[in-house]
Structure 1
């Protein structure tokens, strides 16, 4: 018992001494500041979650994880498709060449799932390099047998006519009358996975950008179709969009990548050779943001790799926001890029 009381007295004495030393240390004004002491990991505030297809923060700082994969809708991009539905809800859009020098859109949905979208059209082998980096699923009217086989071999899920949500719009003519309720597709695509897709682009801020050159207008020409953009009121406006009024894609940036194009190995019903965008390797890149253009290069080691961007001075980051990507064929394949002040 006496040993226990002695231990208590010793503990009290040591506590008093430590408090006294702490008080003395505070006299020079440094005792409560922590000086240069590193903070414990428990005191560090976690970085807010951001959406993988926009780089924008999740509202409320919650998780960017959804119950479904990235859904990539193949959208017709001709006058016959007007009005297109659902573009304003897309996180990111990729415009790609198809046969005859016209284009088709790969509209990506993840953070915001709309209702009716379309007209839904067929996929191409070019879509593998677009969809695979985020383990996305295709929402499409189908595709040629060769294309379907390659898409499946790449491990990409396909949702097409006959899947939940798909229907034919009686007021339109085929093949421009296939639509789907994206909410029903998202429900059918739930996979129970916990992983959030990888970032589609190397996200940053406007302050990360090099100075660039003035460029308030640009034209991405694919041969028989050209998409014209004008920088207005802080964003890029597609001057020849087929989207329904008020349903246009709100592009904060336009990223033009010059790509090589090969032959997919078959023809469409009209006898046109089907092109295949080679979305791996490297090429020239042009990032349009805030009325300026920054020139650099893009690279992808393989079709499933994330996109890397660089300038002569180092890595190029894309300001977080909604981005429209133009996969424009190199000059030898009939494509071109022009821009002006």
Structure 2
């Protein structure tokens, strides 16, 4: 009996130790708030001690997508000129927000980083499990992001990936070090957008300037023959990055899409617009000082977007950065 009691006590002690370790690991995995509330100025939490994807050697074929704040208080932004693609969408209150996609080059820093939206998940399905860097999202949206085929990276998940700058007030001062999330730029093959690059198509019309208006924001693209680029202005002011350089894509796409209400609202009760990027419609492609009226089609979320002329031929973009501005059809 003494030996059995001793064995039973030993087994109970081992079980108790295992339960304690399991509970500790579970607490470390949940970690409370991994995201940053847009209305808080606190530094990003550092509860995670997991190695960064970069330290694990992650480069692969997946691009990095970063949600970029575009409120007036967030300007000038950092690292936008290194992006291969910049998407502009309407958000609450008629304002705009950007998504920068990096594949051929990673800047030292980019931002200010801001929260994700539901329609981002549909847009990002065109890529092979992209990394999405964002400051957080409302609690009802986070489960959808966690289930999406992407690698969501919020502050607190990777030590040293995010930091608060001193140049702007919170929440417009959260920045990302991309090399903490990717070991290297994955390369152009990661841009599975369906875009074609090459010689300009025929049938264009001379275009000096094009403005896209949202209820409380506007973008203007002005052709510069000297730079062979479209100079960006936002809300009537030249758009520059923190290094003083003008934002100047080689190609601008004004894509007319359905913009509807989503099931989500901001903390003021404003409905979050949902930008539908699957379907078909009209678009204008601006390149080389010319404007081309084209059709766009994206059959499913897993597909890229085809831009074609009236006779169905693919429309080539100019080599260099592309801005896609979604506007209500």
TM-score above 0.5, yes or no? yes
Show the counterpart of 2:164. Answer: 168
The SS at the match of 2:244 is coil
Q: Return closer, same or farther for 1:222/1:308 CA change in 2, 3 Å cut-off.
A: same
Bigger Rg, which one:
1
Unmatched 5+ residue regions in structure 1? Answer: 1-64, 331-341
Is residue 89–residue 249 contact of structure 1 (8 Å, CA) maintained in 2? no
Q: Name the SS of the counterpart of 1:199 in structure 2.
A: coil
- CA 1:183–1:201 in 2, change beyond 3 Å: closer, same or farther? same
User: Are residue 94 (structure 1) and residue 87 (structure 2) matched?
Assistant: yes
* Aligned positions of 1:236-251 closer than 5 A: 236-240=230-234, 241=239, 243-251=241-249
Structure 2 equivalent of residue 186 of structure 1? 182
Q: CA deviation at 1:329?
A: 1.3
Please give the secondary structure, in 1, of the residue aligned with 2:137. Answer: coil
Q: Deviations over 1:65-103 (max 9, x none)?
A: 953620001000111002210011111100011111111
1:230 paired with 2:222, answer: yes
TM-score between both structures, scaled by the size of structure 2: 0.74
Q: Could you tell me how far 1:309 is from its partner in structure 2? A: 1.4
Q: Residues 133-144 of structure 1 correspond to what in structure 2 (within 5 A)?
A: 133-135=126-128, 136-144=130-138
Deviation at 1:198, TM superposition (A): 5.1
Deviation string, structure 1 residues 24-62 (Cα, Å, up to 9, x no partner): xxxxxxxxxxxxxxxxxxxxxxxxxxxxxxxxxxxxxxx
Aligned-residue offset at 1:151: 2.5
In 1, are the aligned partners of 2:278 and 2:301 still within 8 Å (CA)?
A: yes
Q: In structure 1, what is the equivalent of residue 299 of structure 2?
A: 301
Q: 1:128 to 1:318 in 2, by over 3 A?
A: farther
Please list, as runs of the form range in 1=range in 2, the aligned pairs for 1:1-341 lying within 5 A after superposition: 66-67=59-60, 69-135=62-128, 136-164=130-158, 165-187=161-183, 196-197=189-190, 199-207=192-200, 209-232=201-224, 233=226, 234-240=228-234, 241=239, 243-319=241-317, 320-330=319-329
Bigger mean CA deviation after superposition, 211-220 or 171-180: 171-180
Three-state SS of the structure 2 residue aligned to 1:145 is coil
Structure 2, unaligned runs of 5 or more: 1-57
Distance in 1 separating the partners of 2:168 and 2:188:
39
